Amino acid sequence: MSDQESSNIDPYKFLKISLNQDGTLTRPESFPCVPPIPDPSDLTDSQLALSKDIRTTNGILLRLFSPLESSGKLPLIIYFHGGGFVFFSATSAPFHNSCIRMATVCKALVLSVDYRLAPENRLPAAYDDAVEAITWVRDQANNVNGCDPWLKEHADFSKVFLMGSSAGGTIVYYSGLRALDMDLTPIKIGGLIINQGYFGGVERTQSELRLVNDRVVPLASNDLMWSLALPEGVDRDHEYCNPSIGSSSEKIQRLPRCLVRGYGGDPLVDRQKELAKMLEGRGVHVTAKFDEEGAHAIELTDPVKATKLYDEIKNFVHSTAN
């Protein structure tokens, strides 16, 4: 089945985007950006976490969330939002609100990374930004040029987790591999949380073919987003996209424990299951959670699924399993 035959959907119209002559993208204003709320007096009754913006030395925006009812040291979750590497930011309302709930339910600090988007910044730009964020956290723990007061007071740097949904989950996997070659002392990455990871490959999976015209991630839009995100001139069987490329690397077996999640109604679910199987085969401690009911990014619209996600993250983060 060719890409042209795979779907009757026009991906540009579906995604409401247009590619400009200079290689930039005109995107829809789908979700508003929201400001942080660092002052408790400005919170509403429904908001249970404070937030503030910080920039790294190279100018990457980080939004830090701290639960209101926090005492002592808390785990730190470095979070990467979804959007196919093409859409959204750490300030987009759905992801801002999700981080509030994550910080509140999980009793953790959440650091949301506003990584660069494609096609203006093709991969590995997002992976590079993730590594910079991890490095920034390490430098905070070492008090290089001072430490943010929220982190200094509440962060347990021995319990740092990388978490992402969709493209964010993909960033977690590849930046987690890169981190293995870094001296992160004194921080310790205690686990990777890959929620509905956005992985690809040239050969179609059964779930992709079964859900070719999916209402959230139809195959045509999936292909387009990868073509915009990957380096020019490569296909989806590339190391930035397909985990099976380079799966023989000895580094994989050194990854910390992983929580891998997915839903049966997601066209990408077969690739997520393949990732979990590959990791287990390399000796990684994997907690696999696959729910047959649910679509891609459903936790952004379904409160019940969202609550289940946050509960599973909480259990994983606070587990003492190695």
Examine the residue annotation and report whether 81 is marked as an active-site residue of this protein.
no
CA angle (155, 81, 103) in 5-degree steps: 35
Query: Residue 213, Cα to own-chain centre: how many angstroms?
Result: 24
- Reported in sequence order, the residue ranges of the chain that DSSP labels E, i.e. its strands, are 18-19, 25-26, 49-55, 61-67, 74-80, 109-114, 155-165, 189-195, 258-263, 286-291
CA atoms within 13 A on the CB side of 68: 14
- Sequence length of the chain is 322
Residue 296 known to be catalytic:
yes
Q: Confirm if 64 and 151 have CB atoms less than 8 A apart.
A: yes
Q: How far apart are the first and last CA of the chain?
A: 43
266 catalytically annotated: yes
List Cβ neighbours of 44 (8 Å cut-off, separation of 6 or more): none
CA dist list (Å): 142 to 54, 78, 149 = 17, 17, 13
Q: Looking at 165, 166, 207, 221, which residue is catalytic?
A: 166
Which residue of the set 114, 129, 223, 266 is catalytic? 266
Between CA 199 and CA 57 the distance in angstroms is 30
Residues noted as catalytic: 166, 266, 296
